[in-house]
Chains A and B, each alone.
Chain A
Amino acid sequence: MSAQKKSAPRRGGGWLRAQLRRRPLPVWVLVTADVLVFAVALNVFALFHHVLPRHEQAVGVRSQRGGTQTAATATEVPILPEQAADALAAGEEAQATESEAQVEPAATEPEGYFGAKFADKFTGGEVEQTSELYRSANINLTVTPYNHENVRFYVMEFYLRDISSFQTGFANDEFGRGRYELVSNTLARMGAIAGVNGDYYGGRSDGIVLRNGTLYRSGEKLKRDICVLYWDGTMETCSPEAFDVDAAVARGAYQIWNFGPMLLDANGQSMEEFNSDVNPRNPRTAIGYFEPGHYCFVVVDGRSDDSKGLTLQNLSKLMQNLGCVRAYNLDGGKTSEMIYSGAIVNEPADGGRMSTDVIGIVEP
């Protein structure tokens, strides 16, 4: 009777327990089981870390636009991408020799308006649009592709009559983690003429987020460099230690990005060391600032035989040679994408990927 009991299969893991007690499982079974559970655990982690959407409560503080500023008229504000490409290839420290604009005092305009300053850049009301140029009463935008020494990059330079044409948007129009959308779709919903990917704020739970004048995330324990665009059109980059969110909001912060690193120092010179570990050649997206109302986006293709991408040092040098006085690195890699007139301008690595936020140029 007792022998029959022993040989009979038991329920609820009793049989397995008996087998394990009799002799241990072979090592290869244990190792395989551990590796399988490890793989499943990593996928579950990824699911919760950056796939599943999570609602975040926005801080909701708004920075105020207001005041009057004395605008200046730039009689000549050139951009020299040809020189930049040559300098990039040669590795020489070419200076944008013609970037010193002749500045004259001009009319007084409300804060964030540059119509008088760049009067010659805008049309009287009609819209001119080609594959490389968009010109209207409010926006002057050019897209120029360059291909030099196995590096392909695109410079989108633009002048704005009103700073409110410089907008940002969230994927699916919602603030929160893990919300993704094609850059082109987000820009299309915003009605943007052109734009690039943002700083991928939604892939992280830390970092400051202030968009279109509203503070969404105040960001404690900041680690990455910060870029602030103010309502008056000025742009500043700084280290996390030097940044004070309350002071930035009080001064009139319009957009804040927290990815980085900053690419030019306080004197507008290129840098050799950066607050980032992602330094190898990669696809890149960067934003450049010349003066209030005049900016550029730069997108560099990479990770392909046609274009190997840029290091941060290369990108820093390129931004300086373009004539920027401030420049900031946004999310790169597969996210790097430039859109103009609804079409993707560059060739995103591995076909690109969805992003959590975008920067777009819209008619006010």
Chain B
Amino acid sequence: MLRKLLPHAAIILSMMYFVFFFIDRVNSAMSFIDNDITKGLLFLLCVLTIVNAVLLIRDDRARERRRQQMLRRRSAQRKEK
């Protein structure tokens, strides 16, 4: 369940950052980017991105391993025939 939510959390945080960048360009005096809360959110976004990337790489490797196992099994079956 958590794995399904993580990519959505990353999307939402990224969208928030789009808003921060936009309003900071319009009114930089309000320090929408340069404040402790936004810095904390950026840290969270980095962590989420790394976790999502690690999970994606792990899934990708597992899929590749399964595919190669399947190919080996098929070639063994072909040899048996």
Q: Does B30 sit within 8 A of A, measured CB to CB?
A: yes
Q: Does B76 sit within 8 A of A, measured CB to CB?
A: no
| Of A17, A34, A223, A278, the contact of B1 (CB 8 Å cutoff) | A17
Q: Does B27 sit within 8 A of A, measured CB to CB?
A: yes
Contacts of B25 in A (CB 8 A): 277
Q: Please tell me if the beta carbons of B29 and A259 are within 8 angstroms of each other in the complex.
A: yes
Contacts of B60 in A (CB 8 A): none
| Of B29, B34, B37, the contact of A45 (CB 8 Å cutoff) | B37
Q: Which residue of B lies closest to A44 (CB)?
A: B37
| Of A20, A42, A200, A205, the contact of B29 (CB 8 Å cutoff) | A200
* Bound Cα distance from A34 to B26, whole angstroms: 25
Q: Please tell me if the beta carbons of B12 and A38 are within 8 angstroms of each other in the complex.
A: yes
Contacts of A41 in B (CB 8 A): 12-13, 16
Q: Does B15 sit within 8 A of A, measured CB to CB?
A: yes
Q: Does B53 sit within 8 A of A, measured CB to CB?
A: no
* Bound Cα distance from A277 to B19, whole angstroms: 17
Restricting to A32-59, which residues have a CB under 8 Å from any CB of B? Answer: 33-34, 37-38, 41-42, 45, 48-50
Q: Please tell me if the beta carbons of B27 and A42 are within 8 angstroms of each other in the complex.
A: no
* Bound Cα distance from A17 to B1, whole angstroms: 7
| Of A33, A37, A45, A204, the contact of B30 (CB 8 Å cutoff) | A204
Restricting to B1-47, which residues have a CB under 8 Å from any CB of A? Answer: 1, 4, 8, 11-13, 15-16, 19, 25-32, 34-38, 41
Contacts of A42 in B (CB 8 A): 16, 19
Q: Does A331 sit within 8 A of B, measured CB to CB?
A: yes
Q: Which residue of B lies closest to A20 (CB)?
A: B4
Contacts of A342 in B (CB 8 A): none
Q: Which residue of A lies closest to B20 (CB)?
A: A45
Q: Does A13 sit within 8 A of B, measured CB to CB?
A: yes
Q: Please tell me if the beta carbons of B35 and A205 are within 8 angstroms of each other in the complex.
A: yes
Q: Does A127 sit within 8 A of B, measured CB to CB?
A: no
Q: Please tell me if the beta carbons of B36 and A45 are within 8 angstroms of each other in the complex.
A: no
Q: Please tell me if the beta carbons of A38 and B15 are within 8 angstroms of each other in the complex.
A: yes
Contacts of B28 in A (CB 8 A): 223, 276-278
Contacts of B35 in A (CB 8 A): 49, 204-206
Q: Does A101 sit within 8 A of B, measured CB to CB?
A: no
| Of A37, A200, A277, the contact of B8 (CB 8 Å cutoff) | A37
Query: Can you list 23 residue pairs at the A/B interface with Cβ under 8 Å?
Result: A20-B1, A20-B4, A30-B8, A33-B8, A34-B15, A37-B8, A37-B12, A38-B12, A38-B15, A38-B16, A41-B12, A45-B16, A49-B32, A49-B37, A204-B30, A204-B35, A223-B28, A259-B29, A276-B28, A276-B29, A277-B27, A277-B28, A278-B27
Using A30-B8, A278-B26, A278-B27 as known contacts, list a sample of 13 further A-B pairs with CB atoms less than 8 Å apart, ordered by residue number in A: A20-B1, A37-B8, A38-B12, A41-B12, A42-B16, A49-B35, A203-B30, A204-B30, A205-B36, A224-B29, A277-B26, A277-B28, A278-B28
List the interface of chain A (C-beta within 8 A of B).
13, 17, 20, 30, 33-34, 37-38, 41-42, 45, 48-50, 200, 203-206, 223-224, 259, 276-278, 331
